[in-house]
A and B are shown apart, each in its own frame.
Chain A
C-alpha cells in the first residue's frame, strides 16, 4: 500500500494529451515538491519534471507538472509511442521523515 495514490493504468492515442494523478496528504504533497519519474521496464527510472514545472535538460516541455492542494498531476501532451512506460510520483513526507512514492501508473499508447 503506497502512501501516494496513483491510478494503476492510463492510456491515450498518439498526439493526444493525457494526465496522471497523484493523491497524497498535507504532510507530503501538501507541503513539498512532487517529482515525477518515467521508467521503461528493465531500466532505471528517469526524473521528468516536478510540481514547479522544472525539468532536467533534455526533457521536452511536452511533460509538465502541477499541484493543487494535496494532489499533483503529470500532463503529457503530443503523446508519442515511446512515452509508453511506468510513471511514478514521489515527495518528501514530513511525518515519516522520508521519501514516499506512488504505486506507479502504466501508460499505454494505443
Chain B
C-alpha cells in the first residue's frame, strides 16, 4: 500500500540543524508532490512548503524561507527536509504528506530543541 515512512525522533541543541527523511513506497515517487507540515506541541497544523520530486523545485512558506531546505533522492524514493538555526520554538512534530490535498501522510517526526 502507499505509504510515507519518516525518520525517527531527534533531539537538537539551539543553533543546530536537523534533517528529516520521508521514504515513499507503494507508488511512483516522482509522480506526486511532497509537502511538509509542522505541528508544535498542543498547536495546529502549519504548512512549510512543497517539493516537486522530478525537478527538485521547491516552494517554501514565507515564514520558513532561508531556514528550511527541501531536497530529494529519487534513487531511494526519499524526500528530505532540513531546518537550520534551530530555536526552542521549533520543537514540533514534522510531517511529510503527498499530493496537494495531503492524501497520504507520514507518521510524523518529533524534533525537540533543548539546551
A98 and B45 contact, CB distance less than 8 A: no
B44 and A99 contact, CB distance less than 8 A: no
Q: Which of B47, B103, B105, B106 contacts A99 (CB 8 A)?
A: B47
What are 12 A-B pairs with beta-carbon distances under 8 A? Answer: A2-B44, A35-B102, A37-B102, A39-B45, A44-B95, A44-B106, A45-B105, A56-B103, A88-B44, A101-B44, A101-B45, A104-B45
Rounded to whole angstroms, the CA-CA distance of A2 and B47 in the bound complex is 11
Q: Is A102 at the interface (CB under 8 A from chain B)?
A: yes
Give the number of residues in A that approach B within 8 Å (Cβ atoms). 23
Q: Is A103 at the interface (CB under 8 A from chain B)?
A: yes
Minimum CB–CB distance for B59 against chain A, Å: 7
Q: Interface segment, A13-21, A68-76, A77-85, A89-97? A: A89-97
Q: Is A100 at the interface (CB under 8 A from chain B)?
A: yes
**Residue from A45, A90, A100 having most chain B Cβ neighbours under 10 A:** A45
A96 and B62 contact, CB distance less than 8 A: yes
Rounded to whole angstroms, the CA-CA distance of A56 and B2 in the bound complex is 13
Top-8 shortest CB links A-B: A99-B47, A44-B105, A104-B44, A101-B45, A98-B61, A103-B44, A35-B101, A47-B103
Chain B residues lying within 8 Å of A33, measured Cβ to Cβ, are: 101
Q: Is B46 at the interface (CB under 8 A from chain A)?
A: yes
With A37-B102, A99-B35 as contacts: A88 and B108 at CB distance below 8 Å: no
Chain B residues lying within 8 Å of A44, measured Cβ to Cβ, are: 95, 105-108
Minimum CB–CB distance for B50 against chain A, Å: 8
Minimum CB–CB distance for A36 against chain B, Å: 10
Chain A, 29-59, contact with B by CB distance < 8 Å: what is the 0/1 string?
A: 0000101010100001111001000001000
